[in-house]
Structure 1
Amino acid sequence: MLDLAYDLPAPKVIRGALHDWELVIGLEVHAQVSSKAKLFSGASTRFGAEPNSNVAFVDAGMPGMLPVINEGCVALAVKTGLGLKAQINLRSAFDRKNYFYPDLPQGYQISQLYHPIVGEGEVIVDMAPGVARRVRIERIHLEQDAGKSIHDMDPHMSFVDLNRTGVALMEIVSRPDIRGPEEAAAYVGKLRQILRYLGTCDGNMQNGNMRADVNVSVCRPGDYEKYQESQDFRHLGTRCEIKNMNSMRFIQQAIDVEARRQIAILEDGGSVVQETRLYDPDKGETRSMRSKEEAHDYRYFPDPDLLPLEIEQGFVDEIAASLPELPDEKKARFVTEFGLTEYDASVLTADVTNAAYFEEVARGRDGKLAANWVINELFGRLKKDDRAITDSPVSAGQLGKIVGLISSDAISGKIGKDLFEIVYTEGGDPEEIVEARGMKQVTDTSAIEAAVDEIIAANPAQVEKAKQNPKLAGWFVGQVMKATGGKANPKAVNEIVAAKLG
């Protein structure tokens, strides 16, 4: 593994009119389980279906319809817990969270309050090369999603779409270990990366498949340390929850805005009210949604239609044995196996698809050269054309052949860029293109020497200047490369020019 330093969280200090204040942040991330069926029914979870077309009788709250647990969702929740180095609870149970809302047809949400399926774990958040933060996970529980209320189709009516009702969610609850907006966004990004590697959630925040409720409070310097010693949450100040955040940028903005709102209230002699708020990015403000409910407000009780969930250790062990290589492990391997810098390894492992692409390019080849071509040439061109790597015109096999041709001195780096452009725009086998178009590098030293002699003979004045100032030898190298159409081996040209000029 990489040699990381785990620092205590560096608090974001905000200077108020009267005092300095520190931020305390905890997140509840709702991640949609990558299942084709819902948590308690066989209805489809396909995104973008016609409204109210993915609804089973139990999802619609029809009388007499009983929920049946989806074993696949249980397995994916266990897999997520193992990926976060968390405790897997072999016995868990479902509860009813009672509240009324038009898009909740049962009148309650099936969740896990008292006995979650996953206990304490951790997420290692990369903050800088060689420096990381450890954010503790308090719990992960399974629950069903609610539907969606639509208010903008008709000014006089609201509509309800129940397609999301009953979709399986994993609620991943962190401890209040996060101390700044940037760290909060980095935590969500790392969590999404891990879930994608595991294949338990696609992390698509735009579609609402991953969203966060952000709890924010402010305290005076030194109070967080008191909390760590006593575990008394009163030292952290009164928290407000910002609901349904689905953008890294908005998470950072909302935290900063909410913290400053709380500071203004406190420095004016007021008290922060514990409540749920919404963030308005257009106005750059948070606004009150409702008072923050406690557990007793929801009248939780064990769901009488569902027996406690008991899983065997063998079931957990089987899932553990099938875990893929996770981001931190892959990054460490890329550093040692391919000789990459930690930064390059981080870029290449940021997404599981990118990492797989690079590994195919680098297999049996110069790892550093392969990383350079993937990061600079391929990623740069894809970003310019607004294309994903899954839509890349250059396959990993094609780019691997280009890297191999450069490594073997069959072509130069400059010719490699020309070849990349041809493959990107026209396709084809790189090796065949080099042969057919005469792009092979000239490595015959006698041919290169003849070209050097010709340039020197034609420019006696420039020869004298170069003898006085060796830096001018680069002019001869450029002329030889031009005369050979860029095909001469640059290293050989430099050596021959230096020898000829003495």
Structure 2
Amino acid sequence: MEFEAVIGLEVHIQLLTNTKIFCSCSTDFGAPPNTHICPVCMGMPGVLPVLNKKVLDYAIKLGLALNCKINKFSRFARKNYFYPDLPKGYQISQYELPILEGGHVEIFVNGEYKKIGLERIHMEEDAGKTIHRPDGSYVDFNRAGVPLLEIVSLPVMHSPQEAGEYLRSLRRIVRYLGICDGNMEEGSLRCDANVSIRPKGQTKLGTKTELKNMNSFRHVEKALEYEIQRQIEVVEDGGKIIQQTRLWDEKTGMTKPMRSKEEAYEYRYFPDPDLVPIFIDDEWIERIKDEVPELPRQKLERFVEEYGLKEEDARVLVEEKSLADYFEEAAKGYKKPQSIANWILSELLGYLNKENKNIEDTLIKPNHIRELVELIDSGLISGKIAKTVFGKMYETAKSPKQIVEEEGLVQITDRSQIEGIVDEVIKANPKAVEQYKSGKKNTIGFFVGQVMKKTKGKANPKLVNEILASKLEEL
């Protein structure tokens, strides 16, 4: 029997607000433990939460970007459970009246676009962080009360690859919107996966397991691959899938049972009596709509249409908004934007990736990329010399023109000068001349190499080839 996987993802994104969702404590990451806390986020008696309006703005912005229904009326609910990192004994979340419903995330997989439907998006506060050490377990409450949006997809993904691309697409969008930095390694984007299997062709959902402890896209894909295969083997052996939460173990490459999976009623949700309901009017939505930037898919299509870029190149450039902006600045007013893109993608990203750096870290100004391409196109330097110049640009932040002048790297285009060097090379290599005359025409490559060596790569390659071909044929 052939089985089909059914996957739904629950993604939590930490919002880039300066303060927490219900108090004025800082949200800065990496502060010493328990230094960004107050009576409100610690759940002390006699204090009341006050909603951070920026959280609502960011939720509306995401809803507009993902084509969600923005509920004009919503409210917070208390999600009751006991855990060491939850100081109040409940989490302020949303339940029956979330701020956003529906919508979709568009992914590109197997050469085509697919819309992954969303069930809902709601606001909630983060919990603290439990730290386990050999000498005991500790809780850092700095994270308690940090604002989150939980994005719940419909169970419409059928492969780990689709799930991975969904996460990448979602991260691109929230980064473009400027509402979350999307750093999984710092916990600002976290993902739980619900997965089940069913015989192919059936529509009824099987018993699901929830997967946790996945802190990279690759871990999500690997955990899903393992869990799907595990469930298939259980069913084929005559067993039954147990509804449970399982932890991904990176070291063993396996998922391990953690606890039985809770149902919603076990959390005893009820409206939070300390927070008033939320009313959103059309004017508010229109104001936020003006703040929504051009999104990755729209930018990709524009890069292909406006700049004539190859789609695969445009796809890489729009991966990060800062990289796309860098390209646009570099290509401004230049007739060959594809050449600009080539240098950014092959050379600049090559250097940055080697040092594990981002585009923001480069010393090279965007207009210096354009200047370098102009030097090549004008014939002042060759492509080979340009690579040398680029290396010095990367190290020093100098302009290509300055480097070319200082290093004396201007390309030799004087025909008579090149002819003289070609004559010397031919005279010094009689054996190679005989080989060429005997029909081994590819020997011309040897002569080109010798000329370039003599000129330290400065001779115009096109002119060198032309002169060599002419002189060798005359012999």
Instruction: State the secondary structure of the residue aligned to 2:27.
Output: coil
- Distance in 1, matches of 2:228 and 2:106, equals 25
1:145 counterpart (107, 118, 126): 126
Q: Is the 8 A contact 2:365 2:397 kept in 1?
A: no
1:43 shift after superposition: 0.8
**Contact kept in structure 2, 1:214 and 1:245, CA below 8 Å:** no
Q: Which of 341, 363, 367 is the equivalent residue of 2:332?
A: 363
User: Amino acid of the residue matched to residue 50 of structure 1?
Assistant: P
Q: Indicate yes or no: 2:148 matched with 1:169.
A: yes
TM-score, L = length of structure 2: 0.93
Secondary structure at the counterpart of residue 124 of structure 2: strand
Q: Distance in 2 between matches of 1:245 and 1:78?
A: 28
> How far does residue 411 in structure 1 lie from its aligned partner after superposition?
0.8
CA positional deviation for 1:85 = 2.2
Give how far 1:396 is off.
2.8
Return the match for 2:447 from 476, 479, 482. Answer: 476
CA contact (8 A) 2:80 2:90 kept: yes
Partner of 1:211: 190
**2:411 is the counterpart of 1:448:** no
CA distance 1:37–1:322, change in 2 (3 Å): same
Distance 2:253 2:421 in 1: 66
* Structure 2 residue 211 is matched with structure 1 residue 242: yes
Identify the range of structure 1 (257-266 vs 57-66) with the bigger mean alpha-carbon deviation: 257-266
Could you tell which deviates more after superposition, 369-378 or 441-450?
Answer: 441-450
Give the match for residue 428 of structure 1: 398
Comparing 29-38 with 367-376, greater Cα deviation is found at 367-376
Determine which of 313, 316, 322 is the counterpart of 2:282.
313
**1:485 alignment partner AA:** K
- Looking at structure 2, the residues matched to 36 and 134 of structure 1 have their Cα atoms a distance apart, in angstroms, of 33
Larger mean CA deviation between 41-50 and 396-405 belongs to 396-405
- The residue identity in structure 2 corresponding to 1:327 is P
Q: Give the Cα–Cα distance (whole angstroms) in 1 for the partners of residues 84 and 446 of structure 2.
A: 77
Aligned equivalents of 1:492 and 1:363: distance in 2? 31
Match of 1:71 among 28, 53, 67: 53
Q: C-alpha distance in 2, partners of 1:449/1:63?
A: 91
Structure 1 vs Structure 2 CA RMSD? 2.0
SS at match of 1:206: helix
Per the alignment, residue 395 of structure 1 pairs with 365
Q: Distance in 2 between matches of 1:483 and 1:319?
A: 63
Deviations 1:430-455 (A, max 9, x none): 21121122111122333333433444
Within 1, Cα distance between the matches of 2:312 and 2:163?
Answer: 21
- The equivalent of 1:335 in structure 2 is 304
Q: Report 1:48-127 matches (<5 A).
A: 48-127=30-109
CA contact (8 A) 1:218 1:236 kept: yes
Question: 1:331: how far off?
Answer: 1.5
Question: Which runs of 5 or more residues in structure 2 are unaligned?
Answer: none
Equivalent residue letter for 1:164: R
Deviating more after overlay: 241-250 vs 261-270: 261-270
Distance 1:443 1:106 in 2: 77
Which amino acid is 2:323 matched to? N
Q: Displacement, 1:410?
A: 1.5
Distance 1:259 1:245 in 2: 16
Which residue of 311, 318, 323 corresponds with 1:349? 318
Which letter maps to 2:326? Y
Shift of 1:360: 2.4
Structure 1 residues 170-198: Cα deviation after superposition (integer angstroms, max 9, x where no partner):
10011111111122111111111111111
Counterpart residue number, 1:9: none
Task: Provide the C-alpha distance between the structure 1 equivalents of 2:424 and 2:352, rounded to a whole number of angstroms.
Answer: 42
The answer to whether the 8 Å contact 1:149/1:160 transfers is yes
Q: Return the alpha-carbon distance in structure 2 between the equivalents of residues 91 and 493 of structure 1.
A: 74
Deviation at 1:383, TM superposition (A): 2.0
Q: Is the 8 A contact 1:360 1:400 kept in 2?
A: no
CA distance in 1, matches of 2:412, 2:253: 61
Task: Kindly provide the amino acid, as one letter, of the partner of residue 445 in structure 1.
Answer: R
Q: What SS does the corresponding residue of 1:361 show, helix, strand or coil?
A: helix
Kindly report which structure 2 residues correspond to 1:17-28, keeping only aligned pairs within 5 A, or say none.
Answer: 19-28=1-10
For the residue of structure 2 that corresponds to 1:236, the secondary structure is: coil
Q: How many residues in Structure 1 have an aligned counterpart in Structure 2?
A: 471
Output one character per residue of 1:275-294: Cα deviation in whole Å (capped at 9) or x when no partner: 22222222333222222222
How far does residue 463 in structure 1 lie from its aligned partner after superposition? 4.5
Residue type at the aligned position of 1:328: R
Q: Any conservation in 1 of the 2:234–2:240 contact (CA below 8 Å)? A: yes
Q: What are the ranges of 5 or more consecutive residues in structure 1 without an aligned counterpart?
A: 1-18, 228-234
Residue 462 (structure 2) pairs with residue 491 (structure 1): yes
Q: Secondary structure at the match of 1:182?
A: helix
Aligned with residue 419 of structure 1, among 377, 389, 404: 389
Partner of 1:194: 173
Q: Which amino acid letter does the alignment assign opposite residue 254 of structure 1?
A: A
Percent of pairs identical after alignment? 51
Whole-Å Cα distance in 2 between the matches of residues 482 and 287 of structure 1? 62
Distance (whole Å) between structure 1 residues aligned to residue 205 and residue 467 of structure 2: 71
Residues 322-376 of structure 1: CA distance to partner in whole angstroms, max 9, x if unpaired? 2112111122222223322211111222122222222222223322222221121
